[in-house]
């Protein structure tokens, strides 16, 4: 029997009774174009990246650093919390002012 658990709070989600939200997270390296000058005109940047990945014994480390895809199941409560703060930022400190 297939069962799902909320990846945030650990709650067991009943297939017939509970809503389940799926979060797909895809992270990849931004490959912004470099400024082209006369020296770089003949450089093949993709070839250089390929050579780095093929020549290093820790290729898997580079693959993970360059592209990662993950999937999470969330219960309705955790989905609301996630949508309110998807990056998990700390809340800004509240400043208390006197009533003067």
pLDDT on residue 34: 59
Put residue 10 in one of left, alpha, beta given phi > 0 → left and psi -120 to 50 → alpha. Answer: left
Q: pTM score, two decimals?
A: 0.60
Strands in the chain per DSSP E = 4-5, 12-13, 21-28, 67-74
Q: What CA–CA distance (Å, rounded) separates 31 from 50? A: 14
Q: What tokens appear for 75 in the block?
A: 């219960």
pLDDT at 63 over 70: no
Q: What CA–CA distance (Å, rounded) separates 17 from 35? A: 55
pLDDT in tens, 10-46: 999 998 889 999 999 999 888 776 565 655 667 777 8
Q: What CA–CA distance (Å, rounded) separates 9 from 4? A: 12
pLDDT on residue 22: 97
pLDDT band for position 77 (cuts 50, 70, 90): very high
């Amino acid at each position: 029997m297939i069962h799902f658990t909320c990846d945030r709070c650990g709650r067991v989600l009943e297939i017939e009774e509970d809503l389940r939200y799926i979060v797909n997270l895809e992270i990849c390296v931004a490959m912004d174009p470099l400024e082209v000058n006369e020296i770089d005109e003949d450089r093949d940047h993709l070839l250089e990246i390929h050579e780095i990945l093929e020549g290093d014994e820790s290729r898997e480390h580079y693959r993970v650093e360059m592209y990662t895809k993950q999937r999470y199941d969330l219960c309705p409560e955790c989905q609301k919390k996630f949508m309110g703060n998807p990056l998990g930022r700390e809340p800004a400190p509240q400043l208390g002012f006197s009533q003067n």
